[in-house]
């Protein structure tokens, strides 16, 4: 009884490995899909069931690939869509996320990045776990979720749980949005007292040009043709007569 | 020697004559306010053209701006600390309110309104011997700490050998590099582009734009004047004067509108909010700045004050005369009722 079962198991596994090969391109998507739990992979499941499952997984991967690009051009549309509301409701994207770390005190910095190449880590950060959430400077509603409404400061990555790469992108997007005027921020008060705006000092006012230029001469006298004094030339020639050819 | 003596005598007599002339003018001004207001006397007494910094003008503008402590000291987004509670007597509370008013007056200090700065293009030297020596410009800045930025020498050596003074934009960039001011950027933020300005105005954030402009630009630069003009135009177009009331920018906006002779919207807004005194002061400021206009001459001839000024303005100068007269009638009715009751 055990031997034929073992043989079928080996055959099944070989088949499964061969069918899962085309899906190796999308391992990240596989992991990000809602987990299809097949409780304790039954050993006596016929191979046809595996083929159907592989095909449906392939379709889901394709759909997920389309979903990746669906909000790429307009990432702010996702925050109004039904799937967003169903998944997050009114709470911010990072609420409820819990970092996995050893000991009671979490490390001062979150992980460097959740996605390396094609591989995604276990327990990805709130931004990496949802491919539809794209950090863009025009995606103001998303950026607002990461800014404290009371102090106006950006939340630290230890508070929200995002990886360092996404935190850096977030900071850059927030500064760009503030530059464009999409996000308000506190502006310091400028004092105007005791400053002289007459612009009469030489450094910023007009200096009169030197008389040589006003006459029409060049800047230095030797820029233009300089005819030597005949007497001086004669005297010099006389002193060096022995050396002249 | 004799010539000197005569020169001295002549000088003394001339100065005496000048003094006599001046005193005569003073007498003329004091005694008669002649009917022909377009004479030289009035022009001389106004100072030829009232400037923004004149005390009379500043006084009117501060009065019109108002002092709403709730708006001036509204909570801003900053680092939070736990609140402090103080137990005060009535007198101490009074004193605290007074000091708060002083602080508010400092915060409502109006930024300067200056004419646009003239571009700098002075050549200090033309050394053709250095032509082609390098492919880049060299900028030499005087980084002595204690001199004002407007007296700082910044010169540029071009690749063709000319040594010239740096232009205003180069000056601003370099002074920000060596002596950085808080929150001022080397490259002006993109919010000051036309499209972004329009978007921000649609969100009613005019005050933020003006504050950012104060931080970023110098008061006499062309960008500062352009952004301020765009903001004031948008406010006037939509009638959103309330956004700037009780801020430091209200005076500047009023001055811009008075110089452009487009105060109708503002007067209407003041009357809607039942600020009659402010409307009267605004009309008197208008007459001060444009003494040769019809309503100014009419008012000077009739020595009008209060609501009469408004009536004269409404008849002569305004395009929305109907509304102003209606509002005045309503105000008079209310005043009569309150005096009767």
pLDDT (tens digit per residue) in A165-181: 999 999 999 999 999 99
Each residue's pLDDT tens digit, A146-160: 999 999 999 999 999
Contact between chains at B128 and A209 (C-beta distance less than 8 A): no
Each residue's pLDDT tens digit, A27-81: 444 444 444 444 444 445 455 555 555 555 656 655 554 545 688 889 999 999 9
Each residue's pLDDT tens digit, A110-135: 999 999 999 999 999 999 999 999 99
Q: DSSP code of B54?
A: -
Phi, psi (deg, nearest 5) at residue A43: -70, -30
The secondary structure of B230-265 as a DSSP string is: HHHHHHHHHT-GGGTTTSTTHHHHHHHHHHTT--HH
Q: Which residues, numbered 71 to 100 in chain B, qualify as contacts with chain A under a Cβ-Cβ cut-off of 8 Å? A: 76-80
What's chain A's average pLDDT? 80
> Which chain A positions have a beta carbon within 8 Å of B79's beta carbon?
151, 153
- List helix spans (H) across chain A: 2-20, 27-32, 47-70, 82-88, 140-144, 157-160, 164-180, 211-215, 230-239
Distance CA A146, CA A157 (A): 10
Determine contact: A98 vs chain B, CB below 8 A: no
| pLDDT at site A1 | 53
| pLDDT at site A29 | 45
| pLDDT at site A7 | 55
**pLDDT at residue A215 greater than cutoff 70:** yes
| pLDDT at site B25 | 46
| pLDDT at site B201 | 95
> Which chain A positions have a beta carbon within 8 Å of B197's beta carbon?
181
**Strand-pair category, A119-120 with A115-116:** antiparallel
Each residue's pLDDT tens digit, B189-224: 999 999 999 999 999 999 999 999 999 999 999 999
| pLDDT at site B321 | 81
Give the lowest-confidence range in A54-58, B40-44, B143-147, B301-305: B40-44
Average pLDDT over residues A188-216: 83
What's chain B's average pLDDT? 85
**Strand-pair category, A119-120 with B154-157:** unpaired
Domain boundary assignment for chain B: 66-108, 126-166, 261-340
> Which chain B positions have a beta carbon within 8 Å of A197's beta carbon?
112, 114, 150, 219-220
Domains of chain A: 74-97+109-182 (4.10.640.10)
**pLDDT at residue A192 greater than cutoff 80:** yes
Contact between chains at B199 and A181 (C-beta distance less than 8 A): yes
| pLDDT at site A64 | 52
Determine contact: B212 vs chain A, CB below 8 A: yes
Each residue's pLDDT tens digit, A77-93: 999 999 999 999 999 99
In this prediction, the answer to ipTM > 0.95 reads: no
Contact between chains at A179 and B189 (C-beta distance less than 8 A): yes
How far B203 CA lies from chain A's nearest CA (Å)?
Answer: 9
Q: From the list B79, B107, B208, which residue is nearest A187 (CB)?
A: B208
Each residue's pLDDT tens digit, B236-254: 999 999 999 999 999 999 9
| pLDDT at site B49 | 86
| pLDDT at site A9 | 47
């Amino acid at each position: 009884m055990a031997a034929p079962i073992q043989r079928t198991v080996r055959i099944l596994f070989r088949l499964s490995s061969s069918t899962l090969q085309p899906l190796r391109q999308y391992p990240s998507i596989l992991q990000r899909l809602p987990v299809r739990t097949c409780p304790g992979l039954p050993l006596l499941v016929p191979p046809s069931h595996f083929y159907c499952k592989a095909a449906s997984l392939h379709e889901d991967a394709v759909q997920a690939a389309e979903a990746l690009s669906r909000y790429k051009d307009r990432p702010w549309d996702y925050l109004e869509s039904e799937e967003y509301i169903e998944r997050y409701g009114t709470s911010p994207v990072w609420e409820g996320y819990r970092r996995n770390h050893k000991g009671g005190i979490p490390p001062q910095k979150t992980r460097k990045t959740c996605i390396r190449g094609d591989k995604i880590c276990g327990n990805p950060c709130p931004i990496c776990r949802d491919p539809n959430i794209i950090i863009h400077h025009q995606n103001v509603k998303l950026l607002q979720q990461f800014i404290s409404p009371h102090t106006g400061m950006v939340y630290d990555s230890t508070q929200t749980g995002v990886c360092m790469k996404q935190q850096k992108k977030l900071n850059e997007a927030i500064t760009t949005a503030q530059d464009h005027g999409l996000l308000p921020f506190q502006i310091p008060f400028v004092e105007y007292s005791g400053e002289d705006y007459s612009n009469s000092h030489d450094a910023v006012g007009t200096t009169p040009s030197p008389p040589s230029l006003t006459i029409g001469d060049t800047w230095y006298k030797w820029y233009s043709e300089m005819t030597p004094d005949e007497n001086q030339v004669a005297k010099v020639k006389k002193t060096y007569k022995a050396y002249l050819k | 020697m004799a010539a000197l003596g005569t020169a001295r005598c002549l000088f003394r007599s001339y100065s005496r004559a000048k003094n006599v002339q001046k005193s005569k003018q003073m007498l003329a001004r004091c005694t008669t306010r002649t009917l022909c207001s377009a004479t030289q006397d009035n022009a001389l007494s106004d100072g030829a053209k009232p400037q923004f910094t004149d005390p009379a003008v500043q006084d009117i503008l501060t009065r019109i701006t108002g002092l709403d402590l709730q708006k001036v000291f509204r909570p801003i987004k900053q680092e939070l600390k736990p609140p402090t509670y103080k137990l005060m007597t009535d007198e101490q509370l009074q004193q605290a309110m007074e000091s708060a008013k002083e602080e508010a007056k400092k915060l409502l200090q109006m930024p300067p309104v200056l004419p646009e700065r003239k571009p700098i293009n002075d050549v200090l030297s033309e050394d053709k011997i250095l032509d082609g020596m390098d492919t880049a410009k060299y900028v030499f800045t005087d980084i002595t700490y204690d001199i004002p930025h407007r007296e700082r020498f910044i010169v540029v050596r071009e690749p063709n050998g000319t040594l010239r003074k740096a232009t205003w934009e180069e000056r601003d960039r370099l002074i920000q590099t060596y002596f950085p001011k808080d929150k001022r950027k080397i490259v002006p933020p993109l919010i000051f582009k036309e499209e972004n300005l329009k978007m921000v105005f649609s969100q009613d954030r005019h005050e933020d734009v003006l504050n950012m402009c104060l931080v970023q630009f110098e008061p006499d630069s062309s960008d500062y004047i352009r952004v301020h003009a765009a903001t004031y135009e948008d406010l006037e177009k939509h009638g959103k004067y309330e956004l700037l009331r009780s801020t430091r920018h209200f005076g500047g906006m009023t001055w811009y509108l008075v110089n452009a002779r487009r105060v109708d919207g503002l007067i209407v807004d003041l009357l809607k909010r039942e600020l009659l005194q402010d409307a009267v002061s605004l009309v008197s400021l208008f007459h001060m700045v444009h003494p040769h206009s019809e309503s100014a001459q009419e008012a000077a001839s009739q020595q009008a004050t209060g609501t009469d000024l408004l009536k004269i303005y409404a008849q002569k100068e305004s395009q929305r005369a109907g509304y102003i007269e209606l509002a005045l009638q309503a105000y008079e009715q209310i005043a009569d009722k309150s005096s009767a009751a």
